[in-house]
Chains A and B, each alone.
Chain A
């Protein structure tokens, strides 16, 4: 890369490395385009999609406005149904609660249903510190875990891997975690799935504790809902004796009938299916099972206080915005440095992480993640494709622009913007600047210096005309002379 690479903020630096990774680019291009097409087809066939989307948005907004009331209603309903409700203000508290609950069962391992909330709080690592092993059972999460890797997509965490890479990971690592993959494993998707199935089955049958998240929680009934494709989640939800669910407080819906809207919006936006293969719902604890619900804030109430930024809490984690995003497609999920990549990550991550204290809400903190978080709102060309596909109409470009305003700006940029503002403040100044440019135009170098070299590295600059439009208008009296 060019000289501009040095001293670049985190996202552009990560992305610059990612765009050169031809395997990653190939995998992502193929995967995102396929799913984009499937989504477009199943959304396009619904004549009332726009109305559904509006309903989804309004239900979520209504719930968020009355979150306190609905959360208490949920707590009551879950408790009535024999479950235990715990409240966690932040990641550390949530991890402490979950680890304590697992330790109380005397077990040293748990199986996990795919869950974003537990990724967000780093639960697996926190459990490992207390000697508890967490086994991921979602196929893609399993690939990530075995590969000692990071998820790069909300729905398909191993989207950056292709099947031959997966075969290598299975062959090399599965044995360390349980039943090994067969020696002659091929990279046929069916063979890979079968190897995972056998590996996981032993795990399910041997596990006493499961940890899940939830796609939705119903305040009225105290019901939790998980949508999935593989059925592995359902094994975790039913077989073990203790079930612990960690759920962000924004996952709430007021009533059972609200699912009508969201069970249409989510699968169509997410996997591009009319309906997902498995939908599990449970209310409190069943006979012989213990159920704990950990309600997670971790910055959400602070986000709720921001009138523009709060719409990010409507997100139902469908990942449609990732699949359609031209920046995500080229930079990959890891460049975003968070479990929430893509457009939603660019608006959610900086907000969640900035909200540690009330005082830091105006300016993003200059912490270790500050550099990255300050660059995330700029990880977008504001093309608007994410807003267009979002099933709950989150205006991601609006939030990006909003967050950019409270991001610390580099000094050179501040000066440049101030100078531009000064020139645009008076038409005579603009005219003078244009004339100067016109006179110097023959001396403009093909390669510009400083930050502007980022333009001329790959693009020519246009020729500066001898005369601006306004001077032409004056000279010719609007072209009449």
Chain B
């Protein structure tokens, strides 16, 4: 199957390790992975901050870039929801029928990683091994936008050695919300404080989610508090096999592993 990786601007720029993990994982499962270099950003930040015209431009670019692939996979529940839910709305108001057609053609083929694995490839055991205590935070857009349900949990439970522990108040928003985090910093921080409290109460070494933006937010607070809990994207855990080197001494502080070495598997430390 010819699969295009939609990396998202945040992962491309700040979390390349997540992208490398997706590539490793999909290849291991027999997919041919392409990376259309013309991709940039889905426009979510522009749209939700109140700039629909700029968002529509970026949406048009993205639908053009990914036309012609069998499937588009992204390690971001939020950006997948943007394309599938918001693009049709943008297309309704943006001029030109060609855009609406392009959206109708491309949007349904865009999948969040766990959707793609479970629904399209039909696998839950992806052959991963990760002997650690993990807690999973279902981000709002993967929970209430994409309705991922228990797909991520089923994938994680099939990972060898992994112990999945429950997160109290799991369904509550972490307080990121894109520009909300800087426009309403006090409420955002108060929400994050509760999420951090619940993550600590869960007693895990690793906090996992399907979105690096929310992880960046919760992880930023964990790090500020020197909490000693590492954040990892779901893709990084699913890509990990027993052959990986253990996380470096700086794991979780973001000072450990260097990006760009190329192997890029199971490197939760690349933060």
Binding site for B on A (CB under 8 A): 1-2, 4, 11-12, 15-16, 19-20, 25, 326-327, 330-331, 377-385, 387-388, 398, 401, 404-407, 409, 413, 417-418, 420-421, 423-427, 430, 434, 437, 451-452, 454-455, 457-476, 478-479
- The complex places the Cα of A465 from the Cα of B183 at a distance, in Å, of 26
B90 to chain A, nearest CB (A): 10
B65 to chain A, nearest CB (A): 9
Indicate whether B137 reaches chain A with its CB closer than 8 angstroms.
no
Contact yes or no, A427 B38, CB < 8 A: yes
Count chain A CB atoms within 10 A of each CB in B144, B179, B188 and give the residue with the most.
B188
Please encode chain B, from 33 to 66, with 1 for each CB lying within 8 Å of some chain A CB and 0 for all others.
1010111110101111111101001100100000
A387 to chain B, nearest CB (A): 7
Contact yes or no, A424 B41, CB < 8 A: yes
The 4 A-B residue pairs with the shortest CB-CB distance in the complex, in nearest-first order: A381-B177, A459-B220, A465-B259, A404-B50
Contact yes or no, A404 B48, CB < 8 A: yes
A2 to chain B, nearest CB (A): 7
Binding site for A on B (CB under 8 A): 7, 9, 11-17, 19-20, 23-24, 33, 35, 37-41, 43, 45-52, 54, 57-58, 61, 86, 89, 140-141, 144-145, 171-173, 175-192, 216-217, 219-221, 223-224, 254-255, 258-260, 262, 264, 270-271
Contact yes or no, A420 B38, CB < 8 A: no
Contact yes or no, B144 A459, CB < 8 A: no
Asked, given contacts A417-B49, A424-B40, A455-B181, whether A468 binds B12 with beta carbons under 8 Å apart, the answer is yes
A275 to chain B, nearest CB (A): 28
Q: Which residues of A contact B190 (CB under 8 A)?
A: 19, 25, 330
Contact yes or no, B184 A479, CB < 8 A: no
Q: Which residues of B contact A326 (CB under 8 A)?
A: 172-173, 175, 191
Q: Which residues of A contact B259 (CB under 8 A)?
A: 465-467, 472
- The complex places the Cα of A451 from the Cα of B49 at a distance, in Å, of 15
Q: Which residues of A contact B14 (CB under 8 A)?
A: 462, 464-465
The answer, among B19, B37, B46, B254, for a CB contact under 8 Å with A462, is: B254
Asked, given contacts A458-B221, A460-B220, whether A383 binds B262 with beta carbons under 8 Å apart, the answer is no
- Which residue of chain A is the closest to B181 with respect to CB atoms? A455
Contact yes or no, A473 B35, CB < 8 A: yes
Contact yes or no, A468 B13, CB < 8 A: yes
Cβ contacts A to B, 16 pairs, < 8 Å: A4-B182, A15-B186, A16-B186, A19-B186, A381-B175, A406-B50, A420-B46, A425-B40, A455-B182, A458-B189, A462-B220, A465-B270, A469-B19, A470-B12, A472-B260, A479-B262
Known: A12-B185, A381-B180, A465-B14. 6 other contacts (CB 8 A): A326-B191, A417-B49, A459-B192, A462-B219, A462-B220, A468-B16
Q: Which residues of A contact B45 (CB under 8 A)?
A: 417, 420
Contact yes or no, A15 B187, CB < 8 A: yes
Q: Which residues of A contact B40 (CB under 8 A)?
A: 423-427, 430
